[in-house]
Structures are given as C-alpha cells and as structure tokens.
C-alpha cells in the first residue's frame, strides 16, 4: 500500500480498503457483495430473493376441478337450490332399478317419488355418462358424485350472494336520488325492515308498509313473516292486486335485473346489448330458456340481499329462505297453474333470451315469408294426393317389359343384404 493510500484511509476511516490499481492495466474491478449500476454508480443491497429465485422449482399447476362441480353449479341455479343430493341419488337410483326390473310401475309411484325421479333425471341429463357410472360404481362412488354436485351448488350460491350484496343497492335506488340514510355495500345490519326502502320491498304483499303499527312490529321482531308470505318486490311496479294475485307476480324489474346479473353477465344489466367479453353462466351451460327453478332461485337471492341477515343459511328461521323457495316452486310447478306459468315463462324468455323468442315467433299472414310457406304447403299437399292416388292402382308392367318402379323397389327391399368384413370394420371406426 502506498503512502497516499495510507493517508487516504487515515483521513476517511469509513472508506473501504481496496488495492490500488495505479500503473496497472487490464485489472478487473473488485467484486462486491452489493450490485452496482455501471451507468449511475448506484449501489443496492442484494436481497435474499436474488439468491434464491434461480433455485426455485417449477410453479405448481392449479388442481383441475372435477367436471361434476361445474354441473353442480348449474344444478343449484336452475334445477334445485335446496336439495340433499346424496339422498336424491340413492332414491333416484333405487326407483330406476325397480322400474327397469318391473318391481314397481309408474302408476304405483307417489307424487313425491315422481318428483324425485324427475329431478334425478334432470340431474343425469347434465352429464350423460353419469347414469352408467352410478349403476356400475360402488357406494363410495355415489358419495363422491353427491359431494362434487353439492360443492358446485354451494359455490355458485356463495358467489351469487356475494355479488348481489352490493349491486342490489344500485338497483333499488330511485333515479337521480340517494338512499336516506345511505346503506353500506359490505354491511347488512341496517337493511331489512330497519331501512325504509328495503323494508318496503320486503314487506309481505298482503300487508301495508305505510301502516305505522305494521312497520313497528316488523322492525321490533314481534312480527316475523314466514317464507310463504311473499314480499312486494316480486310484483311488477311493486303493486299487488288482491283480487288477482297472478297479476304482475314475478315480473318486477328488480328480478329481471338480478337474473341478467347472474345468468348473462353483470355488464348486460347496464346496457341494452350484452357486450361482455366473457361468456355468462347461461351460455357456458347451454341454457337458452328460463326455468321455473331459476326464477325461484333469483327471487330467493334478491330476498336475502335485501334482508339484514349476514349469512345465507337454509336453516335460518328468520329469513326462512328454503320455505320461501319451495313455496314458489310449488305454485310454479302446479299443473293446475299451467296456463299462468306458461304465460309467465314466455314473458321471462322475452326479457332474458329474446333471440330464442324471435326464432319461434309467428309471422304476419300477409308477409312474403307467409306466402312462400303457404305455396310450399299446397305443393306438398298436391304431391301427397297424387302419390296416394297412384298407390291405389295395381302395379303394371311397362311396354318394354321392365317392371314398374314400385315393383323394382319392392324387389330390392326384399333382397337380403350381404355383409362384408370391410363393412364391419367401417362400422367399428364410426
């Protein structure tokens, strides 16, 4: 070390001790534990992640979800929201086997058994290979299938509850006004009958929210409406017709908005045309028509979103959600209410799936389309009459001695078909 270097360190004790490179060429710079930028000379301390990032193993792939969970999500929304799937599979499988072996006939089944069998078949329709899997599998396999469907139904219900919790406040706020007092999107304790707006919508249609006595009893908990006391928000324009309860039932704009939010996409609520870049739940599952169970499901979700209950539970006696859901389905699936329900579903399909309604709509009788179709119908009828007339006469031989077309066709059909090995191979490939 030179004298100049010694004096430098004496004057500045904190300076790092480095060997002098004076008079030497091609000497590499000293190696330091900290990195240094060649442009700015800034030094930074090397973090532990710099040392370990190159030694980390490959990133683990996300576990693949069983497709049954995917089907369970759709089952809970459109077929049955409150269903003990394990019991349903056992009962449905047992009834199917009994019917197949003639141990019981369809006439001997009770209405409850017929309903369970129908739900069981709708569940199997979501996954065609599932029936063979249940018939040939063990009891543990049945438990696994039930668990996957239950997991999917619970997940979809939780997702919809979470998203509707905040969005519904925007939908119930009158235009160009604010809720007074304001409501929080994350806290529900001040909703329900404790707030004038949510309390008015949740008030049973047969009661008067403007009645001070009724409002006080609802808020104090002295009066707790049961699930079959349907709230006012189910009705169009929130108006109940006591003489005709079907008038406007399940046709409120709030229900339609919530249905679009869940089944098409949240963006379709704000826009007349759905421009979402992601497929909605309806398109993912190939849903093109509204079901009775899906209407009841959305009504149940909206009712819970307006309530003050923090947790969605089928055993909650305050919200009584399961009873509310089942009471709606009892009416919507009642054969005696078939005409009203049919008109209701037509109305709903126009709101949610207008494209499908357009494909099945009737055309004007004086349109070009109707004229073309009518002309084609007449030509087909004339051709059918001509064929029927010729078939009443016996087949005759042509002058050239050749048999008629009908006789030749009969001879070809009566000739046995010879099977070749190559044909069997082609069938197997198909």
Predicted local distance difference test score (pLDDT) of residue 373: 79
Of residues 332 and 269, more confidence is placed in 332
| Region class of 102: left (phi > 0), else alpha (psi between -120 and 50), else beta | left
pLDDT tens for residues 124-141? 999 989 999 998 999 999
pLDDT tens for residues 225-250? 999 999 999 999 999 999 999 999 99
Dig out the tokens for 192 from the structure.
């329900």
| Euclidean distance between the first and the last CA atom of the chain, given in angstroms as a whole number | 89
Predicted local distance difference test score (pLDDT) of residue 236: 97
Predicted local distance difference test score (pLDDT) of residue 267: 77
pLDDT tens for residues 162-186? 999 999 999 999 988 999 999 999 9
Predicted local distance difference test score (pLDDT) of residue 188: 94
- Any idea which residue has 């006789």 for tokens? 407
Q: How confident is the model at residue 23 (pLDDT cuts 50, 70, 90)?
A: very low
Dig out the tokens for 237 from the structure.
């324009």
Predicted local distance difference test score (pLDDT) of residue 387: 75
Of 83-92, 152-161, 179-188, 392-401, least confident by mean pLDDT is 392-401
Predicted local distance difference test score (pLDDT) of residue 273: 52
Q: What are phi and psi of 62, to 5 degrees?
A: -65, 140
Whether the upstream peptide bond of residue 49 has omega within 30° of 0, thus cis, is no
Nearest of 220, 353, 228, 238 to residue 289 by alpha carbon: 353
Alpha carbon of residue 153 to chain centroid: 10
pLDDT tens for residues 340-396? 999 999 999 999 998 755 544 555 667 887 788 778 888 888 887 777 777 655 544
Is the distance from CB of 161 to CB of 312 less than 8 angstroms? Answer: yes
Q: How confident is the prediction for the chain on average, in pLDDT?
A: 80
Is the distance from CB of 305 to CB of 264 less than 8 angstroms? Answer: no
In SS3 terms, the chain reads as CCHHHHHHHHHCCCCCCCCCCCCCCCCCCCCCCCEECCCCCCEECCCHHHHHHHHCCCCCCCCCCCHHHHHHHHHHHHCCCCCCHHHHHHHHHHHHHHHHCCCCCHHHCCHHHHHHHHHHHHHHHHCCCHHHHHHHCCHHHHHHHHHHHHHHHHHHHHHHHHHHHHHHHHHHCCCCCCCCCCCCCCCCCCCHHHCHHHHHHHCECCCCCCCHHHHHHHHHCCCCCCCCCCEHHHEHHHCCCCCCCCCCECCCHHHHHHHHHHHCCCHHHHCCCCCCCCCCHHHHCCCCCCCHHHHHHHHHHHHHHHCCCCCCCCCCCCCCHHHHHHHHHHHHCCHHHHHHHHHHHHHHHHHHCHHHHHHCCCCCCCCHHHHHHHHHHHHHHHHHHHHHHHHCCCCCCCCCCCCCHHHHHHHHHHCCCCCCHHHHHHHHHC
Nearest of 146, 153, 9 to residue 87 by alpha carbon: 146
- Measured in residues, the chain has a length of 430
pLDDT tens for residues 317-343? 789 999 999 999 999 999 999 999 999
Is the distance from CB of 33 to CB of 114 less than 8 angstroms? Answer: no
Q: What are phi and psi of 231, to 5 degrees?
A: -80, 170
pLDDT tens for residues 70-79? 999 999 999 9
pLDDT tens for residues 276-288? 556 688 888 889 9
């Amino acid at each position: 070390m030179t004298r100049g270097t010694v004096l430098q360190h004496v004057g500045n004790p904190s300076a790092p001790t480095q060997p002098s490179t004076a008079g030497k060429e091609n000497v590499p710079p000293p190696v330091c534990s900290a990195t240094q930028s060649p442009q700015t000379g800034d030094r930074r301390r090397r973090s532990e992640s710099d040392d370990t990032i190159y030694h980390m193993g490959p990133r683990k792939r996300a576990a693949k979800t069983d497709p049954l969970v995917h089907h369970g999500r759709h089952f809970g929304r459109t077929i049955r929201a409150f269903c003990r799937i394990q019991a349903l599979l056992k009962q449905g499988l047992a009834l199917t086997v009994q019917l197949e072996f003639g141990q019981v006939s369809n006439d001997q089944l009770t209405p409850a058994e017929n309903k369970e069998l129908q739900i069981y078949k709708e569940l199997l329709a979501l996954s065609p290979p599932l029936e063979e899997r249940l018939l040939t599998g063990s009891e543990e396999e049945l438990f696994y299938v039930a668990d996957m469907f239950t997991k999917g139904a619970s997940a979809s219900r939780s997702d919809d509850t979470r998203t509707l919790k905040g969005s519904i406040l925007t939908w119930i706020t009158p235009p160009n006004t604010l809720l007074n007092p304001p409501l929080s999107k994350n806290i529900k304790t001040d909703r329900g009958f404790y707030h004038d707006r949510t309390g008015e919508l949740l008030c049973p249609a047969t009661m008067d929210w403007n009645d001070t006595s009724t409002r006080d009893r609802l808020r104090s908990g002295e009066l707790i409406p049961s699930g079959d006391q349907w709230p006012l928000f189910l009705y169009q324009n929130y108006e109940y017709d006591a003489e005709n309860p079907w008038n406007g039932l399940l046709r409120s704009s709030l229900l339609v908005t919530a249905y679009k939010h869940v089944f098409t996409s949240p963006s379709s609520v704000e826009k007349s045309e759905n421009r979402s870049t992601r497929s909605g739940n309806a398109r993912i599952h190939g849903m093109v028509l509204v079901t009775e169970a899906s209407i009841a499901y959305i009504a149940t979700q909206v009712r819970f979103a307006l309530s003050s209950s923090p947790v969605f539970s089928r055993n909650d006696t305050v919200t009584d959600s399961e009873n509310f859901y089942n009471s709606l389905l009892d009416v919507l699936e009642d054969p005696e209410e078939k005409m009203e329900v049919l008109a209701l579903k037509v109305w709903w399909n126009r709101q949610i799936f207008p494209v499908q309604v357009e494909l099945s709509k009737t055309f004007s009788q004086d349109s070009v389309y109707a004229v073309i179709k009518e002309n084609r119908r007449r030509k087909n009828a004339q051709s059918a009459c001509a064929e029927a007339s010729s078939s009443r006469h016996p087949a005759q031989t042509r002058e050239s001695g050749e048999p008629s077309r009908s006789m030749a066709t009969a001879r070809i059909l009566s000739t046995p078909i010879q099977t070749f090995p190559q044909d069997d191979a082609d069938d197997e490939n198909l």
